[in-house]
Amino acid sequence: MSKTLQNRPTGAEQIHWRLEDLYAGLDDPRLGEDMDWAASEATAFARDYRPGLVNLSGNGLAGAMERLEAIRQRLGRVGSYRYLSYVTHSDQSVYGAALQAYEEAATAIQNQLVFFDIAWNQIPDIRAEGLLAAPELARWQHLLRHWRVYRDHLRSESEEQILAEKRVTGRALWERLFDETFTEMRFPLRGRALSEQEVLALLSNPDRELRHDAAEAMTKGLEGRLHTLTTCFNAVLGDKAIDDRLRHYPHWLAERNLGNEISDAMVAALEGAVVGRYPLVARYYRLKGRLLGISPLLDYDRYAPLPGGERHYSWADCQRIVLQAFTDFSPEMGAIGQQFFARGWIDAALAPGKRGGAFAHPVTPDVHPYLMVNYTGTVRDVMTVAHELGHGIHQFLAREQGYLNADTPLTTAETASVFGEMLTFERLMREEADPRHRLALLCGKIEDTFATVFRQMAMHRFETAMHQARRQEGELSKERLAELWMQTQREQFGDSVELRQGYRWWWSYIPHFISSPGYVYAYAFGELLTLALIQRYRSDPQGFVPRYTEMLRLGGARAPAEVVGVTGVDLEAPEIWEGALDYLQGMVDEAERLAEALQ
């Protein structure tokens, strides 16, 4: 067995979350009791409000919202437990079966509540605005007003119920098949069978031959499952097309933009600004090619560490660095972050059956968020922990808004996570005296930021092309998907990176395309918004911190522009994107200066 493939111990091997804060175990009787309660309350809610929602006073509507929130929160608690249990045991059928049973039962309960959205949207505007002016509804004003933007896209109650029921055994199962396919897949490499997460981690290895072998192993693994993966993609693409047609959405991204509370024009402006700076990507990777002494730079070289710049971080190192970064910014946030590490709210170990990637799950306001990462000790892993902890702190602070108001649209959901990464990066840079390591840290941050802004925008453009092609051409072959993928990937690199033939299949492992269509542009939005916030922070550190904390506390209780406006940043100003992209250009300028000084 090659030593280069052996994971160095990090201290994270036994870091598993403690889900007992939710329920004692898979068979905890409270799981069934909470579902029974939610079902009973939903029946009572429909009985009490179906006949006369239109005649409710402001106080009466506030009472209905409180009851609705209580039902959905109880369902959310059970669902969170079932999902979190599943993602760390997805190779065991009992967990998948339990999650599926929950989804089916929860859908039946939610279907009793569908009438409320429809009835609220049928109330005339004058009457609705009169209700929203009632002081008792101040807490719910933004949410109720936002729900009305879906008025033209809701179907009848019976049709909505059918669509919800079919999703559980339709698109949801395709998503599950996709996840379970990658969970059980193994990629043979140098005598070992690696998980998806393990083989992708090797793309950051300093050994170029090993990076090549890892990329080849990934490609071969994907090729062996392309039939299944292409079918999953086509099923989700087709399902989305049908939903959009039935709901009269004008284009594939319209529903996502409504949910994000962002206009089509703002998304187009973001895309135009990012694509207009693609030459900056090529400029950076030409620099990296020179630093690595590699020409041409291949796709598996993009995340290679610079010579002499590698560092290994134990779990204890990671905890110290990340928490100190948050504490330096805000002692309150540092104290919240400490709880995640001390109270078992993080699952960090690599383990069989555990899903790849990382996420933060808000759970419900009466409990606390949970974080999942797969920690191997790289600087990128440290940044991932900082990213997810930023989400977790945001979710923790927003709990005070209640279950329905705490959730943020994707446009602002990525802000706290990216901000946490920037704080941690700056902490690492302050601690690092070696100029080679400083250059390596800076290049790593540039690459991560480019991945969030430019790579995600390239993936957004692929996703747009994919959805449009599916609607115009019918079912797409793996070759057609590969063609769209390579076209949109090459745009960002120009002549700076050569994409191998095998890279054409790498669209097939991106989970967001399956689970969250239209999601990925939010990464670019959040990253650039965060750079604008960082600039504001540097201009007024003391004044910014309380305003930023207030922004996080607001959650989704107000519109994104209003939430971000608390910090003094105008979300609708067209120059916001160019200013943030100028900041990125400044990072590349600094990398070039550091590189020149080391020559």
- In the sheet with 346-347, reading across from the earlier edge strand, the strands are 346-347, 370-372, 359-361
Residue 367 near residue 339, CB atoms below 8 Å: no
Q: What angle do CA 180, 218, 230 make, to 5 degrees?
A: 55
CA distance 580 to 398: 26
**pLDDT confidence of 560, banded at 50, 70, 90?**
very high
pLDDT tens digits for range 107-159 = 999 999 999 999 999 999 999 999 999 999 999 999 999 999 999 999 998 99
Note the pTM of the prediction, 2 decimals: 0.87
Q: What are phi and psi of 346, to 5 degrees?
A: -125, 140
pLDDT tens digits for range 52-78 = 888 899 999 999 999 999 999 999 999
3-state SS, residue 269: helix
Structure token digits, residue 27: 């068979």
pLDDT tens digits for range 342-365 = 999 999 999 989 988 899 999 999
pLDDT tens digits for range 195-219 = 998 899 899 899 999 999 999 999 9
What residues contact residue 124 under an 8 Å CB cut-off, 6+ apart?
none
| Amino acid letter, residue 561 | A
Q: What is the pLDDT of residue 355?
A: 86
CA 212, 215, 221, 225 torsion-angle sign = negative
What residues contact residue 545 under an 8 Å CB cut-off, 6+ apart?
329, 330, 537
pLDDT tens digits for range 292-311 = 999 999 999 999 988 876 78
CA distance 456 to 414: 13
Residue 409 near residue 443, CB atoms below 8 Å: no
CA distance 143 to 125: 15
Residue 227 near residue 508, CB atoms below 8 Å: no
Q: What is the pLDDT of residue 183?
A: 86
Q: What angle do CA 286, 290, 295 make, to 5 degrees?
A: 80
Peptide bond into 296 cis (omega under 30): yes
Q: How far is CA 516 from CA 146, 188, 255, 456, 510, in A?
A: 20, 30, 12, 14, 11
CA distance 314 to 302: 24
CA distance 514 to 310: 34
Exposure of 564 by Cβ count < 10 A (0-12 exposed, 13-18 middle, 19+ buried)? buried
Structure token digits, residue 159: 């049709």
Q: How far is CA 159 from CA 111, 113, 114, 151, 171, in A?
A: 10, 13, 10, 15, 17
Structure token digits, residue 353: 């059956």
pLDDT tens digits for range 478-491 = 999 999 999 999 99
CA distance 551 to 413: 11
